[in-house]
Structure 1
Amino acid sequence: MKGTNGSQTFRVRVRLHHGRPVPVEIAHDEHTAVIAENRLLRDSGEALLRLPGLPGDVRGRLLRLRVMLGEITPIRRGNRVPAWWPSRLNTRYHDALRLAELVLRGVSIEHRPGEVTVHGFLFDLAKVFEDFATRALRDATGELDDFGGHCVRQATHHLDERQTIRIVPDLVVYTAGGAPVAVADAKYKVEKPAGFSDTDLYQMLAHCTALNLPEGHLVYAKGNAPHGAHRVRHAGVTLHQHALDLDQPPAGVLTDVRAVARRLTAR
């Protein structure tokens, strides 16, 4: 027998105890609002509300969604996006759930044949720039005539001796023997009148300390000056800040990248 009482579905297995009226063995499933589908919709709505320039009607619908799903536990920063599976129970929300996954992962739809029509693509420009800058810098470094080593993107090292604190610089330059000789990080930020963020310098100083390097290089998307350098007191480390002007033809951008590559490999 099956019966429904509120949000609980009961399956009474009377065949196990045929002829015995009581006690009756019951197995039940507890249904709550905190499920993967609702968590996806709630957090993607919150992410969209932070976008500037939302039309008033869109913002209004997202705010109503926030109220409807107010009891849902948000996904903690850094945690994986919850997995969901298509079923007859969520058939009406398949498109919305797939869109929510795209929003939370910071990706866009794929340009492939399908049944859903869209009017734009979503790009994470920070990731686009960082991928371009490190790839172009790696290629430019390898093309230098006097370069006898190799470059690794996203190389994992450790800050402490017990190797519990990971650091993952965007690009590390090694000698032919495998010793690190330069480190670089790409940042998609616009320089403010007061300068770039200090937190980037702290991070680069940690990279230089862990790799035992006297210099570190930060590559930004744009700035008021093409290059700046800071000598860290009592550390003997110089932190370089390079700014790539993207408002120029591709050939000009690659010329600037080659200039940064020469600074990385300068002895």
Structure 2
Amino acid sequence: PGLKVPVPCRYDEHSPDIELNRLLRAALRTATRTGDLSPHWRYRLRLQLAEFEGVTDTHSDPSWVDSWTPQPMERHYESSVRLASLILAGTSISSRFGEQPAHSFLLDMNTLFERYVTRRLQDASPDITVEAQPKSKLDETGKVDINPDIVFHQDGSPVAVADTKYKLLNAGKGEPSDYYQALAYATAYGLNEAWLIYARTPGEEPAGTIRVRNSPVTIRTVGLDLNVPIAQLDQQITALAELISDKPEPTEAPAGQLVGAES
């Protein structure tokens, strides 16, 4: 009686020094060094940084975030981790020899435009599955890879394919190479229709429709006016989703709305 008997047990020892926290700490430290940061936000960032005591201070490589799938215990981290990844990816030069970070903020607008349009199309298309960056093959033997930006599926079958282009239309037309690319995607997926989604400026000549010779494929080009409030941009993308879903839409659009007309 009174003798303590050791009881075997198994446990996990948790530490704050994990990859997610190292990424967040690195992003906070980077943000505090921004030159024109107001005293209020510098103070807020330093308060947050103090919460990461015990986390290794290192310049974290954010490239792994693109393929990261949060576990159930990490889901509340997701928006913070992806924002931290953007901060770190935009404040260093990735194509370089050496390890010295550069203080700037750069965004790949091609990627940002593509992801924004894709996400908003997903939100605006409840009856269609909008797949981002699917991998497929151009040829029957599977030797040539293709990677369209967006493929639309209905009842498990592809119904449309689209590519986003963060560049301006030229007198209502896209670049020839963009049309070749869209034609290849439509042909490989067995579709009669492909979409090219461009940026445009106010007053830009309406985009048009190209019907390919000796082919059933029609390539539709549309322009999104980016010089408008975000709510109006979302309205343009909703209109585009309706066009792709074959819902009736006018071929002419007022200023600040989606442009996509027959040529």
With the shorter chain as reference, the TM-score category is 0.5 to 0.7
1:13 maps to which residue?
none
Matches of 2:242 and 2:95, distance apart in 1: 35
Corresponding residue SS for 1:221: strand
Q: TM-score, normalised by structure 1?
A: 0.53
Q: How many residues align?
A: 155
Correspondence 1:141 to 2:125? yes
The amino acid that maps onto 1:257 is I
* Alignment equivalent of 1:104, drawn from 69, 79, 94: 94
Q: Give the direction of change, closer, same or farther, for the CA distance of 1:131–1:160 in structure 2 (3 Å limit).
A: same
Q: Which has the larger radius of gyration?
A: 1
Deviation at 1:105, TM superposition (A): 5.0
Contact 2:92 2:102 in 1 (8 A): no
Correspondence 1:167 to 2:146? yes
Corresponding residue SS for 1:244: strand
1:130 maps to which residue?
114
2:214 maps to which residue?
234
2:9 maps to which residue?
none
Correspondence 1:206 to 2:184? yes
1:257 maps to which residue?
237
Q: Could you say which structure has the higher strand fraction?
A: 1
Equivalence map 1:58-77=2 (5 Å): none
The amino acid that maps onto 1:103 is I
The amino acid that maps onto 1:150 is T
Calculate the aligned-residue CA RMSD, in Å. 2.9
Matches of 1:242 and 1:138, distance apart in 2: 17
Q: TM-score, normalised by structure 2?
A: 0.53
Contact 1:129 1:188 in 2 (8 A): yes
Deviation at 1:104, TM superposition (A): 3.4
* Alignment equivalent of 2:227, drawn from 234, 247, 266: 247
Matches of 1:265 and 1:126, distance apart in 2: 25
Deviation at 1:132, TM superposition (A): 0.8
Correspondence 1:185 to 2:175? no
Matches of 2:172 and 2:117, distance apart in 1: 24
Contact 2:169 2:207 in 1 (8 A): no
Deviation at 1:117, TM superposition (A): 9.0
- Report runs of 4+ in structure 1 exceeding 4 Å deviation: none
Matches of 1:247 and 1:174, distance apart in 2: 31
Matches of 2:206 and 2:124, distance apart in 1: 18
Matches of 2:92 and 2:140, distance apart in 1: 39
Q: Give the direction of change, closer, same or farther, for the CA distance of 1:256–1:225 in structure 2 (3 Å limit).
A: farther
The amino acid that maps onto 1:102 is S
Q: Unaligned stretches of 5+ in structure 2?
A: 1-87, 248-263
